[in-house]
Structure formats: C-alpha cells, structure tokens
Amino acid sequence: MDKMLDKRVFWLLLAVCALTLLPYLGFSDYHTKGEPRESVVAQAMLSDGNWILSRNNGGEMAYKPPFFHWCVAAASLVRGEVTEGASRLPSAIALILMTLGVFVFYARRRATELALLTAFVAFTSFELHRAGANCRVDMVLTAATVGALLSLYSWYERGMRGVPLVAIVLMAVGTLTKGPVGSIIPCLVMGLFLLLRGVNFFRAFALMVAWGVLSLLPYALWFWAAYAQGGQEFLDLMYEENIGRMTSTMSYESCVNPWWYNFVTLLGGYIPWNLLLVVSLFFLSYKGLKRPASDWACRLRQKVRTMSDVDLYSLVAIVAIFVFYCIPQSKRSVYLMPIYPFIAYFIAKYMLWLADFRPRALRLYAHFLGVLLVVLFVAYLLLRAGLVPDGIFHGKHAADNLRMLRALEDIGSLWQLLLIALSFAVGLMWWLAMRHNRSGRRTVWAIVLMTFALYLPVDMVYTPAVLNTKSVKEIAAEIDRVAPQGEGALYEYIDAGVKAKGDPVHFFEVNFYLNNRIGNFYKERPLEGFLLISQPDMELCCEEFSQWGYRFSHLYDAPKRKMQVYKFEKDR
C-alpha cells in the first residue's frame, strides 16, 4: 500500500543531487574516445539535419540508436553548438531522475529514512556517479531500465490490471537508446518475479511478450527509416551490435572479458560503500556458518517464500540482470548499472541494522572517511607549497604525471579553495563531534555527509585539473590554424582503423573539436588537402602513399600522442 510522500524530503534530495552534479559537467575537456564519439553524432545531426542515421567521422554510422544523441542535440540548441557540458547533461538528468524515482518507489513502501538513504547510496556509488557526468548512452539506458522496472512493479501491485503505459514508454526509450536490451531486461525481471509469486507461466510469458513487443514499436519505426537510408550496411551493423554481441559471434573482439570480470567491476563500482561492508565484517557473528548445505538451501527457500514483495523484486532484479550480463563474452562495468539502485536498497537496510546493533562498525568507517578528508587537505597543502619534488616520477609516463602534478599545484581560485576548505571542515567536524555522538543513526547520516564532502572537491576541483592535462582541445585549435578549412579539407589515416574488422579507430577528440570536419583519407583518396596522421603510421605507410601518387609537406607536430599534420597533393 502506498504511503504519503514527504515532499520536503523529495525536494531536499533533488536539490542535493542537482547542486552536487550539474555545476561541474563542463569543467573537464574530452580526454578519451568514448565521449566525443557520441557527441560528434549530435554534431552531425545539427549540421546535416539527418536525425535518423547521420554520418560522422568520415562517413561512419552511429553504433547505437539515436535517442541519446537527440537529447544531446536538444541540450545543445540553447547555445547552438555541442559543448562538453551540454553533451553530459542528458546523463546527469537521467541519474537525477532515476535517483528521485528510486526514492519515491521505496518511500511509498518503506520508511522515508530508508528510502532517502537508498537514494543517496545509489547516487554516490562510483559507477553511477561517474556515468552521470559522462557523455555516454549507458546512464540514460540505466535510468530508463530502472524506471521501467519500478513502473512494472506498480502495475503488479494493481493486480496486473490494465496496460503499464509508463513502463512501456520507458522501455521504448531504452530500446531507442541502446537496442532491444532496453525491453528485454525489465520483462525478464518481472517475468521471473511473477513466476516466484506463483503466477501461471503462460500468463506471465504472454503478458511480458505483449508489453515487450509494444515497447519495441518505436524502435521498429526508427529501424525501418534507418534501413531505408543505410541498407545492408546498416543491417550488418545492427546485427553485429545486438545479436552478435549477446551471442558472442561478433566478427571482432569487443570488451571481451572472463566470467569473473563482472564480480570485480561490481566491487570497484560500489566504492566507497563496499569499504563499509568490508569494515562491518569484523563486527559480525559467524557462529551459524557451519550448518550443512541442505540446511542452508532449506533456509534460503523459506526466506524467499516469506520475503516481502518489494525485497524479493529488488533481489530478483539484482540476480537476473547480473546473470544475464555474465552470458556474453562482451562485458563492461556499465552494463551492470541497472542493479545498482537495488543493491543500494539492501546496503541502506544493512546500514540501519548496523546503526541499531553494530554501531561501532559505522563509527570505525566514519573515522576512516574523516581521516581521508583531512589527509586530502594536507596533501593539497603540500602540493601547493611545492614540497613534492619533480623527481618522484620515472618511466615513459613521467612527463604526463608531471603535468598532472603541475595542474594540481595551480589550483587556487577562490571557489576552489572554498570547496577544499569545506571538505576539510566536514572531516574535522566529525573528529570534534565524535566523542559526543553515540547514536548509530546519526553516524549513518554523518557518513553520508562526509561522502558528499569527499566527492565535491574531487569532482569539481581535482579531477578536472588532472583530466584536462590529457585533453587535445588546444591541439585541435592549432591544427585548425595550420590547416584552415578555407584552404582545404582535412582527412585522417589510422592504419589500425583501416585494417580493423569492426569498431574502427578515429581521432575522435580532435574531430569533435573541429566540428566533425575530418574525412576518411583511405576511402576517399582525395586529390589534395591536409592529412592528420600519427608519426608511427606515417613512417609505416609513407612508401605506400608514394605508390598511390601522393606528395607530402610537413606542417605540424602535436606535443601529445605523436600526431602530425601534412599538406598533400596527388599526381593526376
């Protein structure tokens, strides 16, 4: 039975999520291929007006359906161009909406304190928090999947009467974001839950198929329109990305990892809360662990039968999705993100149990966070004072590490100093107040506060400073200067990308900062223009290019990644 929702807590949660996530979205330049690979699709949509199957990176099709790219393009209309901040906004909004949805779902069925703690634990888990500030499709897919799961449960509570329209719409959003998996996962979880609750197999199967098919209709319409443009090339790409990826029959290896990979990434993705779980293990009793296996199996069956619907549904979601993504060879940490809110629910329940029966475990973990906040502040002071010598770095990455160190030393604007000081003050307050704090529940919320105090300077100050040393934004501007668009077209050549069976490599970051200007040298074989190429590839292919009839004059050497720019002409 639904309870009245405490709207004050809802608005507090919204304010906290928005204020700790939205402000820093544009602080970091692109520094990996993943983000510009997605945002350049939105760039192409805005420039060529093709919202179905736009081409980018020298004629390449997007590997995913277009809903996420539509969102990025829509967020970019305000400024008229795709920026780092605008491109990350859909993911951030998706994380915030999912967090609010999870809070509302559990608050209407459990205590408000438990629901709020669940929302905060999910929001601050490393994997979700990182994905919420990235221009990737995974956070939008996760929010749509989790929302569909929660909506399907509400439909179940209504006696499975009527059509779960909200769930169908959200599944449709999921499929338009990353393919049929957006419908398969919610239907799979709900179907298994219905079977465990004694619903007839054929009825459960028929209902899930019906809702799944309805949710696939928008995807089918897009698929038909995209096929009209892309033909067989589009069909081959979609088969590879959907059927081939799930059945481990792709023509090339993509994120191939062993069976235990998901366990490792789940542990890493739930930092810092997994550290609390480890600490708590030293405060538990293990007297009953020596029961025989048959006894454990009997107790497990009894626990499932007596478990509340909300708890069982949350558990089924975790197990079903985890096992589902263990099947294909292709495994990535972000695939498991839909289980994070449900894990957060059980972590929150466990934390409140610890508060009542093992408060010392919570206080020990709170001590750890307090120490960490103080240590980070002291480390910043040492860097700021120039007490960390340059000679501590060795090896081939020494120059990169030194640039990161210098970037951290240069931190010093007023708002940055205030954030760093605030983080230190929160840690110091814990140490000053801990002698007077004997309440386990207060310790729980002190841990939440210190977790946010840790994230704020890391997200808004330290991480952007470090990551921007890896950016090629300034290099792209220099390339645009030495090879201006008015004097000729710019092309790229990457030998590994030309010879790859699938998922070709491109200069994604440079291409984004040059507004999707780079063409494909290998396919187009132009008569003249500019060529962007790495130094090793030029040395490898120079003789072959000469045989094709090309003559090159060197223009520019980039200070990072061994990129070079040449002006070329072809003998006619």
Render pLDDT for 19-77 as a digit per residue (tens, 0 to 9).
999 999 999 999 989 999 999 999 999 999 999 999 988 888 888 999 999 999 999 99
Q: Are residues 191 and 54 in the same domain?
A: yes
- pLDDT under 50: residue ranges of the chain: 1
| Domain span holding position 127 | 7-355
Of the three residues 428, 454, 469, the one that is the final residue of a domain is 469
Rounded CA separation 146/151 (Å): 9
Rounded CA separation 163/340 (Å): 27
515: region left, alpha or beta (phi > 0 left; psi from -120 to 50 alpha): left
Asked if residue 132 belongs to a domain, the reply is yes
Per residue in 167-200, pLDDT (tens digit) is 999 999 999 999 999 999 999 999 999 999 999 9
- The per-residue pLDDT for 288 is 67
Per the structure, the count of domains in the chain is 3
Asked if residue 420 belongs to a domain, the reply is yes
Q: Are residues 330 and 363 in the same domain?
A: no
Of the three residues 355, 383, 411, the one that is the final residue of a domain is 355
Of the three residues 442, 469, 496, the one that is the final residue of a domain is 469
Q: Are residues 194 and 287 in the same domain?
A: yes
Indicate the Cα dihedral angle 141, 142, 148, 150, nearest 10°: -170
Note the pTM of the prediction, 2 decimals. Answer: 0.95
- The per-residue pLDDT for 204 is 97
- The per-residue pLDDT for 305 is 80
CB 527 within 8 A of CB 520: no
Asked if residue 48 belongs to a domain, the reply is yes
Q: Are residues 482 and 443 in the same domain?
A: no
Asked if residue 1 belongs to a domain, the reply is no
Q: Which helix (H) or strand (E) holds 519?
A: strand 519-520
CB 35 within 8 A of CB 135: yes
